Amino acid sequence: MPTFQFIDARPIAGALGAEIYGADLSTDLDEAVIAEIRAALDEHLVVFFRDQDIQPKHQLAFAKHFGEVVEYPMVKGLEECPEIVPVLKLAHERVNFGGLWHSDTAYLETPPSGAILVARELPPFGGDTLFANMYLAYETLSDGMKAMLDELIGINSSAKARVTQTREDRMKSDAKVDVDTVLIGEHPVIRTNPDTGRKSLYVNYGHTVRFKGMSEAESAPVLNFLFQHLCRPEFTCCFKWRPGSIAFWDNRVTQHNPVNDYHGYKRLMHRVTIAGDKPQ
């Protein structure tokens, strides 16, 4: 575990996740502080900040320390900052945006490496976000399952029925593409971190529809097992949002699930996405 001079990283669960103290994201952070935040993210896979008072320009500036900022392909961003997407559920709506276990935009040829989510308006209770560690999801599979999955390619679609339902309300008002647009990404089921050589599971319930060369019916038994396996409680952490809270996750090796338990209340978050590379 790395040691830090400028920040304090406090784990919140055994599997992943740490809260970081000692960094004010509304300021121009020194590169030494950025380096320590990057090291904490590598170690804990998702990091959280509390009591931050930042504007969209600060969110963008912070994100750019970690890579190129890219726009979300399906829904419009803020008028003044198109790279920042409102993640919104209104009080009368019943379905929350992205409300299922998933890795962001796995249907792209180069899915994002990470994302930074800022709490803007929260319900009085509920609305927590769960995160899961895909290193552990892979490492706890049997040797036989690992060997079978190692050569497989996952077909990931933006049009998988369950995930399109979570976007319906926002697509009605803020769509960037035609509602019938389908984006497809083909990626290894087991991806390898090029920096560490460590392997992780890379299928997700929101987007993965089948294995390449197989039908959906043939793929379903294994995929359904993996979808249940990857979110086992011991692989997860739960983050309780408060005003001023920020989450920053490594999208390559985690999945997340925003809990939809606050009907009758509005929840508004701002998300910025950091470019990634093609999974190997």
DSSP of 18-31? EEEES--TTS---H
Tell me if 3 is assigned to some domain: no
Helices and strands in the chain, H and E counts: 6, 16
Tell me if 23 is assigned to some domain: yes
Whether 152 shows a pLDDT value over 80: the answer reads yes
Q: Of 59, 75, 66, 101, give the one whose Cα is nearest residue 272.
A: 59
d(CA 106, CA 207): 7
Tell me if 279 is assigned to some domain: no
* Mean pLDDT within 225-240: 98
pLDDT score for 240 = 98
* Mean pLDDT within 53-63: 97
Burial group, residue 253, by CB count within 10 angstroms (0-12, 13-18, 19+):
buried
pLDDT, tens only, 155-199: 999 988 766 665 556 556 666 566 678 899 999 999 999 888 899
Tokens of residue 26, six digits: 């509304």
Contacts of 215 (CB under 8 A, 6+ apart): none
pLDDT, tens only, 102-130: 999 999 999 999 999 999 999 999 999 99
Dihedrals phi, psi of 171, to nearest 5 degrees = -65, -30
* Mean pLDDT within 75-87: 91
Look at residue 143 and give its three-state secondary structure.
helix
pLDDT score for 194 = 85
Beta bridge partners of 256: 102, 131
Tell me if 192 is assigned to some domain: yes
d(CA 201, CA 247): 22
Tell me, what CATH number does 98's domain have?
3.60.130.10
- State which residues form the domain around 162: 8-274
d(CA 166, CA 154): 22
pLDDT score for 100 = 95
Count how many domains the chain has: 1
The mean predicted confidence, pLDDT, of the chain is: 94
Q: Write down the pTM of the prediction.
A: 0.94
Q: How far is CA 42 from CA 37, 101, 193, 257, 264, in A?
A: 9, 21, 11, 20, 37
Longest C-alpha distance within the chain, in Å?
53
d(CA 158, CA 142): 30
Burial group, residue 215, by CB count within 10 angstroms (0-12, 13-18, 19+):
exposed
Burial group, residue 237, by CB count within 10 angstroms (0-12, 13-18, 19+):
buried
Q: Please identify every residue annotated as catalytic.
A: 102, 104, 256, 271
pLDDT score for 2 = 84
